[in-house]
Structure 1
Amino acid sequence: MTGVWVLIGTLALASVFGLAWRSSRGRVRTAKSSSLPSELQKLVDPGSAVTLLQISTTFCAPCRHTRILLADLAGRTEGLQHVDFDVTDHPEVAQSLGVLSTPTTLAVDAQGVELMRVGGVPKRDTLLDALRPHLP
């Protein structure tokens, strides 16, 4: 009988952690760092108010969905640019930014200063609402 209670407790605990992790994905968070590595700094569009810098890997399925969503959002929004950077061969870049999973999207200003970040596939309306104060 003790084994059954251990199993039930383990499943309950795993469910709580899983739900907490799932709810954090796609949420807009404030910036963690202010400077970008040189590999990423050169990708920032100085003519755009905000560049959405997507950190991806080649084997990441949600990265494809994020790429489509962000490219569409940038195409429809004035002052917004989207760039994708694959860290598969550049793990040091992900490490320097504190990126632990892909996709991670960084919103940076024209000087390359990080404004906010999203882990996982962003929620379109939430991201757009968070970006509005930074857009023309």
Structure 2
Amino acid sequence: MAGVWVLGGTLVLGVLAGIVLTTRDGRIRRGMNQPQGTAPPESVADALVPGMVTLVQLSTTFCAPCRQARAVLARVAETTDGLAHVEIDVAERPEVAEALRVLRTPTTIVYDAGGAELLRIGGVPKTAALRDALAPHARPTE
């Protein structure tokens, strides 16, 4: 009988953990608290598009959600003025993930034209939520 209780408890914990992880996926957080004027790491600064808000996607080649995130980010960048999308493979450049304190892929970090971090998204972003979060910084193409 104790085995049934252990199995039931394990199933309940597994379902709860799945719910928590699902609700956190794609959540948009404001940029990390950086001192004013702090530039992104050099390895990322080289990838930023001058004069534009840049969506920097950190991904790996073997990550299925990374392909979904790439499609969402590319679509949003194509339909928004002043917005660019750049992808960095952290399997090839692990120093980037370390410098940015990224623990999972896909992670998207949004930088303004001056290189300040605006937003950070873990997982596949939701298109509508991303557009809303970017609204103060970039305008949809008309």
Query: TM-score with structure 1 length normalisation?
Result: 0.93
Q: How far apart are 1:65 and its partner, in Å?
A: 1.6
- Tell me, in whole angstroms, the C-alpha distance in 2 between the residues paired with 1:85 and 1:33: 23
Q: How far apart are 1:32 and its partner, in Å?
A: 2.2
Query: TM-score with structure 2 length normalisation?
Result: 0.89
1:63 aligns with 2:66: yes
Where in structure 2 are the equivalents of 1:31-110 lying within 5 Å? 31-32=31-32, 34=34, 35-48=39-52, 50-110=53-113
**2:51–2:114 contact (8 Å) kept in structure 1:** no
- Tell me, in whole angstroms, the C-alpha distance in 2 between the residues paired with 1:33 and 1:46: 23
Task: Output the amino acid matched with 2:119.
Answer: M
- Over the matched positions of the two proteins, sequence identity in percent amounts to 51
Would the alpha carbon gap of residues 117 and 108 (structure 1) be closer, same or farther in structure 2, given more than 3 Å must change? same
**1:33–1:97 contact (8 Å) kept in structure 2:** no
Structure 2 unaligned residues grouped into runs of 5+ = none
1:16-48 CA distance string (max 9 Å, x none): 111101110011111225442111101111221
1:120 aligns with 2:120: no
Aligned residues: 135
**Alignment partner of 2:108: what SS?**
strand
2:6 corresponds in structure 1 to 6
1:133 corresponds in structure 2 to 136
- Tell me, in whole angstroms, the C-alpha distance in 1 between the residues paired with 2:114 and 2:137: 13
**1:55–1:85 contact (8 Å) kept in structure 2:** yes
Q: Identify, as 1 or 2, the structure richer in helix.
A: 1
Task: Output the amino acid matched with 1:12.
Answer: V
- Tell me, in whole angstroms, the C-alpha distance in 1 between the residues paired with 2:110 and 2:49: 12
Structure 1 unaligned residues grouped into runs of 5+ = none
